[in-house]
Amino acid sequence: MASAVEKIRDFLSESKRVLLVTRKPGMKEFKMAVKITGIGMILIGLIGMLIRIVGYFVTGS
């Protein structure tokens, strides 16, 4: 069984490896990510609103 120190050391080494592979997104890629995130937020909001409207009509209050 691995000790807490070994788990922390493994986590830090994996995190370092991920950070070395990542790169800063270009403007085109960034804009696409912003659009996708915005569309997702709007869809989730619309779904929540529809559920609330249906609940309002079902309960009548």
Tens digits of residue pLDDT in 29-38: 999 999 999 9
Distance between first and last Cα of the chain: 57
Confidence of residue 60 (pLDDT cuts 50, 70, 90): confident
Mean pLDDT, to the nearest integer, of 2-8?
A: 87
Residues near 25 by Cβ (< 8 Å), separated by ≥ 6?
Answer: 33
Residue 50 CB coordination number (10 Å): 10
Looking at residue 60, the DSSP 8-state letter turns out to be: T
* pLDDT at 1 (0 to 100): 57
Amino acid at 60: G
Say yes or no to pLDDT of 61 above 70: no
Of 12, 50, 21, which Cα lies nearest the Cα of 58? 50
Compute the average pLDDT of residues 3-24.
92
